[in-house]
Structure 1
Amino acid sequence: MTAEGKDNIAYKYRNYLVLERSLSPNSVDAYTKDMAKLLSFMQDENLTYRDVTLDYLQQFVAQLYDLGINARSVARIISGIKSFFNFLLLDGYIEADPSELLETPKIGLKLPTFLTIDEIGAIQKAIDVSTKEGQRNRTIIEVLYSCGLRISELTNMKFSDLFLDEGFIKVEGKGSKQRLVPISETAIAELENYMHYRKQQQPKKGSENIIFLSNRGTAISRIMVFHFIKEYAAKANVKKNISPHTFRHSFATHLLERGANIRAIQLMLGHEKITTTEIYTHMDKEFLRQEIIEHHPRNKR
């Protein structure tokens, strides 16, 4: 759909909120901002309105949590998204509402789902690593968990971001902010196993430096990771509703449970809005690595 078409729908949706739903100016502004968040996600995924499915919307919601948005705000955004798709359905832009089964978080309950160490192990055991796709997928899961990465940080990871001899990877997070994150020996071993297959691939132009490739030779997409994680969880009989973000949350939860410094965890997750240089001016990077070595279960021998 063209930019002009999207602008036209946005205009019509705002009129729908004002004229048909009789919402207050503040509510109209909130709903249109929620729509803008969704449109930005759709643009990143190269989606039209008709392409959006429940799985895509669940990935969108997972990213909201990844940004640190609380459950109450997520519930409000989902309400806005449901309103928008209801409008699209009523006006004939789509034939079915993909948000119909999208669940709203229960306010005041526990934080987003995390996995136990045994559940993570079961998911990894469900992967056939004798194939290049299997080894790639197992490596992706291990790096997500061992380093606490956002899915976008993983899919954009380049060979030039690896400093494995030093035990770190460079990560570019939100707002192009960079940080160094310690990487476990287990994740390094999985990466080395995957490199055997990666060297045999022919990347498309522009993807030569990307680590995790699809079979087409381009950077693996976030939705592809979302789907195979769901598939392996089902094979492992893990009943929790998980996404790539679940491994990031598990990373932080397991470190906290084992007494890691909360400041170190915040820095490793990239929640502080300061540059890598500023981070390591105030906190020695070897201390961050030691927090991982001492507290992350992947480093227990």
Structure 2
Amino acid sequence: MSERAEASRDGDGEDIDDLVGYFVEDMAYHGKSERTREAYERVLRRFDAFLAEFDTDPANADRRDCLAWVHELRGEYAESTVATYASYLNRFYSYMGQVGAVDGNPMALVIQEMDEAIDTDPTRREVSVEDMRAFVADISHPLERAVVVGLLKTGLRVGELCNLDLRDLNLDARGVEDAYDLGTRGQLDGHPDTLYVDPAMSRGETVNGEQRSASNKRKRGTLVPVDAELKTELLRWLAIRPDSPSAAEPLFVSTRDSWGERLTPEMVRGIVREHAEPRGWYREGGDAAENVTPHYFRHFFTTHLRDRTGDRGVVKYLRGDVADDIIDTYTHNWGDRVREVYLEHVYSLT
């Protein structure tokens, strides 16, 4: 372990004798409550004291120092509390790295391995790729196929799928740009065949001129590749998509009673249930471990793509489970990392 440093310096050249104090003070400037600041300071001071026993400090701690601290916490606290404290330290290093006070984030890899957001419940129904391919083959309506393949190929939550607008989809396809204003978000510039999932979307909030009925539960904006199969299904859907009365121009709209109106999560659940019941994949009163639902598709995506890639980071980025500091190594080089890994390993469903 490293020796203790006399002082650090931020990106503006300001000397920082106390990294923890600097961070907590900045939290106040950012409007964090006193209670939140106290909680962070209590945990970070404990980390600082732990490092002092080994003659080092937060400015010079490495991954093994952080790992040793987490190990010590496990001997005293429940796993949920350990995860919370680890997230505090991760946030601290992420911020201090951004202001230039430390080099890198020694907690990034530690918390990546600790992340429990990916569901690995062994009691959940397991559907093979081959069986899911047969399930998709039985769906004929372009809207229903686009919705189901979209969920299965992207890992989006049902609310996130329903919240997509035409501006959130960039397709490189001849003629489609004449019919629709696709991919007009700045985040999609230079990213053909890509979906953008906006984290700033809450139920009841008006976004892009329309009040939303579902929330996006992401920690960061996410660029999700559209592979050839999903692209085909989306183009088939766009060829018949009804006009919508919404100024937001939702990507997926109803072709039933609520003609042209944005699909709701309940509508999507009904579509999936309608096709799952005949296969014995859905039973009234069945629990989450038994029934195949839109949420199950997210589990399917996670399990099969993670097993194929062996890369938890890419999967967690696509799921929107992690914040900027953990996954920046992937997103700084989007075209050469996330997209490449995804397109090379994603399963075929059609």
TM-score band by shorter chain is 0.5 to 0.7
Alignment of 1:221 with 2:247, yes or no, is: no
Aligned with 2:341 (options 287, 291, 296): 291
Alignment of 1:235 with 2:278, yes or no, is: yes
Number of residue-to-residue matches in the alignment: 189
- Measured against aligned partners, the alpha-carbon deviations of 1:66-89 in whole angstroms (never above 9, x if no partner) come to x94979xxxxxxxxxxxxxxxxxx
What TM-score does the superposition give when structure 2 sets the normalisation length?
0.48
The Cα RMSD (Å) is: 2.9
Aligned with 1:212 (options 252, 257, 271): 252
Separation in 1, partners of 2:318, 2:118: 18
Q: How does 1:174-193 map to 2 (within 5 A)?
A: 174=217, 177-193=220-236
Q: How does 1:40-119 map to 2 (within 5 A)?
A: 68=117, 110=122, 112-119=124-131
Change (3 A) 1:243 1:202: same
What TM-score does the superposition give when structure 1 sets the normalisation length?
0.56
Select between 271-280 and 245-254 the one with higher mean Cα deviation: 271-280
Gaps of 5+ in 2: 1-115, 173-191, 200-216, 283-289
In the alignment, what sits opposite 1:126?
138
- Which secondary structure state, in structure 2, belongs to the residue aligned with residue 258 of structure 1? helix
In the alignment, what sits opposite 1:137?
144
1 or 2, which has the higher helix percentage?
A: 1
- Which secondary structure state, in structure 2, belongs to the residue aligned with residue 153 of structure 1? helix
Change (3 A) 1:225 1:275: farther
Q: How does 1:150-189 map to 2 (within 5 A)?
A: 150-165=157-172, 166-173=192-199, 174=217, 177-189=220-232
Change (3 A) 1:262 1:280: closer
Change (3 A) 1:290 1:149: same
Contact 2:118 2:316 in 1 (8 A): no
Larger gyration radius, structure 1 or structure 2: 2
In the alignment, what sits opposite 2:86?
none
In the alignment, what sits opposite 1:101?
none
In the alignment, what sits opposite 1:51?
none
Change (3 A) 1:267 1:285: farther
Task: Give the partner amino acid of 1:121.
Answer: R
Q: Following TM superposition, where does structure 1 have runs of at least 4 consecutive aligned residues deviating by more than 6 angstroms? A: none
Task: Give the partner amino acid of 2:196.
Answer: K
- Measured against aligned partners, the alpha-carbon deviations of 1:44-94 in whole angstroms (never above 9, x if no partner) come to xxxxxxxxxxxxxxxxxxxxxxx94979xxxxxxxxxxxxxxxxxxxxxxx
Task: Give the partner amino acid of 1:295.
Answer: H
Change (3 A) 1:183 1:113: farther
In the alignment, what sits opposite 1:257?
307
Gaps of 5+ in 1: 1-66, 72-108
Separation in 1, partners of 2:330, 2:313: 13
Shift of 1:111: 5.8
Contact 1:122 1:236 in 2 (8 A): no
- Measured against aligned partners, the alpha-carbon deviations of 1:249-297 in whole angstroms (never above 9, x if no partner) come to 1111111222331111111110012399957654434311111122111
Task: Give the partner amino acid of 2:238.
Answer: M
- Which secondary structure state, in structure 1, belongs to the residue aligned with residue 348 of structure 2? helix
